[in-house]
Amino acid sequence: MLQLKQRRQVQRQPREINDDGQRDDHNKNEGKDCFRYIEKMTTAQGIVLGSPSYFQDVTAEMKALIDRAGFVGLANGRMHKNKVGAAVSCLRRSGGLHTIETMNHFFLSNELIIAGRAMSVARDKGEVEKDQEGIQTAQTLGQRTAWVMKKLYG
């Protein structure tokens, strides 16, 4: 006979009430935020994307950003072409490499130059600060990204 374990109940975070007395839905500004980030990407010489690994891939918000930024870039004459890209991910046990690859696919399909990647291992908030190797890797990535941009743009 198959025994089922008791499910843990997941508590939802209460939504905040805004000044108008309405519930604040954190996703309602997602599209606006996405296009604000895309606008910053248009003037930047380098793009650093970062995402934790959720279910072995980027978050839904990161996927929405790279999809929208990719289409905007293609529709505007490959406007991201020859910019420098770097990807950063934080993972618990696995999925970090696939998360990095998803962001790298955005870079490659939009003809960016990839400077590298950095990963860190953590589970809870603040644990990433204990991963000294991950911190060093991220710092090295930042230096390499700056070096590549300086070589390309002077």
Mean pLDDT, range 117-121, rounded to an integer: 91
- Domain of 52 in residue numbering reads as 33-123+130-153
Residue position matching structure tokens 């990807």: 87
Residue 33 confidence (pLDDT): 82
Region 83-97 average pLDDT: 91
The pLDDT tens digits of the residues spanning 22-50 come to 555 555 555 678 889 999 999 999 999 99
Predicted TM-score (pTM) of this structure: 0.77
pLDDT at 20 over 80: no
The answer to whether position 112 is within a domain reads: yes
The domain that holds 100 is classified in CATH as 3.40.50.360
Mean pLDDT of the chain: 84
| Residue 10 domain flag | no
Q: Classify residue 78: in a domain, yes or no.
A: yes
* Residue 65 covered by a domain: yes
pLDDT of residue 93: 81
| pLDDT score, position 139 | 96
45 in a structural domain? yes
Q: How many domains does the chain have?
A: 1
